[in-house]
Amino acid sequence: MKYRSKLIAILLCIASALTAHAGREKYNFNSDWLIAVGDVPGNENPRLDDRGWHRVTLPHAFNEGEAFKLSIEQLTDTVCWYRKHFRIPTVNGNKVFIEFEGVRQGADFYLNGQKLGFHENGITAVGFDLTPYIKKGDNVIAVRIDNDWDYRERDTNTKFQWNDKNFNANYGGIPKNVWLHVTPEVYQTLPLYSNLNTTGVYVYATHFDIPGRKATVNAESEVKNETKSPITLSYRVTVKDTDGKQLKSFAGESVTILPDSTGTLRASSPVENLNFWSWGYGYLYDVDTELVDGTGKSIDKVTTRTGFRKTKFGDGKIWLNDRVIMMHGYAQRTSNEWPAVGLSVPAWLSDYSNGLMVESGGNVVRWMHVTPWKQDVESCDRVGLIQAMPAGDSEKDRDGRQWEQREEVMRDAIIYFRNNPSILFYESGNFRISRDHMLAMKAIRDKYDPHGGRAAGCREMLDVDDAEYGGEMLYINRSKKHPMWAMEYCRDEALRKYWDEESYPFHKEGEGPLHKGTDASAYNRNQDQFAVEMVRRWYDYWLERPGSGDRNSSGGAKIIFSDTNTHYRGKENYRRSGVTDAMRIPKDAFFAHQVMWSDAWVDNTGAATYIVGHWNYPDNTVKPVYVVSNGEDVELFLNGKSLGHGKRDYNFLFTFDNVAFRPGKLEAVSYDASGKEASRYSIETAGEPAQLRLTTIQNPAGFHADGADMALVQVEVTDSEGRRCPLDNRIINFTLDGPAEWLGGIAQGDNNYILSKDLPVECGINRALIRSTTDAGRITVTAKADGLPSESVSLNTVPVKVVNGLSTYIPAMDLKGNLDKGPTPAGASYKQRMNTVNIASTEAGSAQEMVKNAYDDNENSAWTSDGVPSNSWITFTLERPAAVSDITLKLTGWRKRSYPIEVYAGDQMIWRGYTPKGLGYVHIRPENAVKSDRYTIRQVGAVTEKDAFAIKELAGGPANEMDTKPSKKHQLSIVEVEFLENCPD
């Protein structure tokens, strides 16, 4: 009885709060939805008996359980219906809006049987004004959703380009959050252009003084007056820091808005003591914008969570807060999905996943093909991860209605996300677009986000100066104009399960099925070679980093951070290119990146070392040991005895060949250039499996009983001293007791073990997801395995109050920004190593009219000789004599063609040999530099051809036009050349 009285009192308090509409309220509208799969006419009828429908908490795709169980093209595409019963307090004098963060694909929306409208792009948020149809008592909202892979726009019968079975996993229904907004009749609009045609609040900073921690903060709000009288409003802006402390309050000029009209209110003020948002430093502010009437009463307040940072794009480089930063991170599928749930995870789990990108040393995520959902965008704000935001695309430019669809998505996305500081790039296409289309995308940016400090560009935009950034998909580009960074390098795939060739389950490097009838060894790597490949590939970008002349590479994004339920080339039915698996358990490649990228804005500043693999092998095993380090030298010790110093390749890789296994401690010690120890890392031989260890990873604000929150349960097999057993792959049997739903994990086997409570560990570890119900209580997970004692772990869920389908619990608002890396460091991020010596004139054996193509800073043009052997030479006269230490060349066919060349300084030959193959550039470095103002490059034999990388796109054919020309064996063909001399010490 006492408990019941307390519950009634709590409910009355909440009900009272929900009726207090002095101003604006935002409600969590995710609770108590009903789902029915199939299309039945009349499901929008508010009097429909829906008691047999399946009850869920959003976000929730109707086909969520297929994620990673089925390959992408097999995901169920059909019609489904969502319904929800709710009540709201009296709406007299108020407006009621609903915000869907996104539905997939085409949806019709109804309230109380009345058609609200429809939304078809499957990407962006959409809003509706419910006020005309809302009523006292029970209201029913119904949504009919068709996620057909072949869905076509109703009015034009046009397919949406991005509804693609390769890239855009089809988690259908309402897989994103839904919010309800109650506002006064004079209100700041929502940033929901789709359907509502409103743009909301815009907050930005100008006049930055980074060292002085000052900037001018600007705010503007689109305001609607839906009363019958004009109203004069003043505008008050309050900036609060991450702890809620007021930093500054200021006002703008008064504005009179006529009845049924729209106006804009603005205010700006210098603000001191700012903390600027940065990589790994997700410092965010709450900016309150208030409408104040003539009596001084605040009638509408909107809180915008945002951050302030300064950017610059030019000279081939990117600046963040006055410091050059080189992009190194991941091209991640926008679905960012997890097994058995797809993209529909709680906000804290988005932080966990995106935060791991930062932990690996990544500073950028390039979402692929379609705009990310709001939760991931806000998550990147918090964890300090730069974002490249696409609109909607599959591959290639489009015309007509399909191009208009892309413009509309970019417009809606910019309006929706222009206050999110982590977005630095607006991607206008996943493949080259026309100059006119690039200008159109920039015009959208300039109209809706003119002050956001964001570059508009496109993949493959190498020769269009109107693009503010560019870069190829797989190859390396340099420029002294707009920054170039690779959009998705390194397509290799590797299962976390396979360590190497010498340990169970003994996966021979490259062993696996053919892909489309051709060798697919790059898609069937083991962990050792996958980690080594990460070092090889990043080295190409590291070589071209800022500091070597006028032309720079601004880095690259490695394709896929976590394994994904999208197109694949290996044995499994999902993509395994991630440096983590689908449960975000790191592969060794994760730690290889951590070493190479840690604290590296450009040059490495921290000291880190990592031994690839484990140290549990059969007796008499002899194998190479790979160490990744940013030191200058690495020494390996086994049980305290030195095994010597590693062979250094690719700057970061140190190889110790033919190391004989002996149980014990294997330790790598790195040294700096002076021979002083810089870092060390060790691994040990684990003993026999003795126990299970269960740990949990959960919401830092508490595991909430809202029916949508989740927790990760991690299981490890360890020895008696707690060391993980790296070769254990036994089955773990789980039982779950308490108010939670088992979602499980993933492993190799039937249906990938999706939703199964029998889950093998792989390399001694695995994870499972559990989801809360709407009942709070104690949850216990127990793990059992043959030969080991059972183990249990308990969690407790926090009650979440929902009244009449509404809740004031906003999960993301409880999450704090990650401040671990601290503010942007002061000082230069790189040392200038070499300077460019400019070319004054050029003479060639042939094609004299094309010679400027060899140094025009345009990577879509080249000088090519006529194919006559005696004419395959070109001489560059420099603006002054110089002892050139590096001739940086991009030659056509760089991936598979080696040119036999001689290089002369004046009349003296300074280099002879075959040019190496690569992903962009070769560096000719004479052993003895000769000072001259004339340098000649001469081809002295036929080119040799053999693909060094086996890179091939899904569509087939060449991946780059310049990588295929010329066709004659004696044609010297130079895309770009740069002459560099060492900087004085």
Strand order in the sheet with 555-559: 455-457, 423-427, 386-390, 364-368, 327-333, 555-559, 486-489
Q: Which entry of 488, 493, 762, 859 is annotated as an active-site residue?
A: 488
**Burial (0-12, 13-18, 19+ Cβ within 10 Å), 718:** buried
Cis peptide before 624 (omega within 30 of 0): no
Residue with tokens 């500091």: 547
Sign of CA dihedral 624, 626, 627, 631: positive
Asked whether the beta carbons of 954 and 947 are under 8 A apart, the reply is no
Q: Give Cα separations from 301 to 183, 289, 345, 558, 801 (angstroms).
A: 9, 6, 29, 42, 24
Element (H, E) at 65: none
Instruction: Report the phi/psi class of residue 805: left, alpha or beta, with left for phi > 0 and alpha for psi in -120 to 50.
Output: left
CA proximity to 666, closest of 722, 609, 717: 609
CB 862 within 8 A of CB 892: yes
Separation CA 669–CA 683 (nearest Å): 12
Q: Exposed e or buried b for every residue in 500-512, given b needs 16+ CB within 10 A? A: bebbbeebebeeb
Which distant-in-sequence residues (6+ apart) come within 8 Å of 107 by Cβ? 100, 118, 119, 120, 143, 144, 145, 146
Q: Which residues are CB-contacts of 719 (< 8 A; sequence separation ≥ 6)? A: 686, 687, 688, 689, 690, 691, 725
Token code pair at residue 311: 């950017």
Beta-carbon contacts of residue 423 (< 8 Å; ≥ 6 apart): 377, 380, 387, 388, 389, 417, 452, 454
Q: How far is CA 2 from CA 5, 14, 191, 774, 817, in A?
A: 5, 19, 46, 22, 40
* Cα–Cα distance measured from residue 893 to residue 864, given in angstroms and rounded to the nearest whole number: 12
DSSP 197-244: ----EEEEEEEEETTTTEEEEEEEEEEEE-SSS-EEEEEEEEEE-TTS
The span from the CA of 85 to the CA of 137, in Å, is: 10
Q: Which residue's entry shows tokens 């319904």? A: 83
Contact 158, 152 (CB under 8 A): yes
Distance CA 794, CA 782 (A): 9
Whether 488 is catalytic: yes
User: Active-site positions?
Assistant: 488
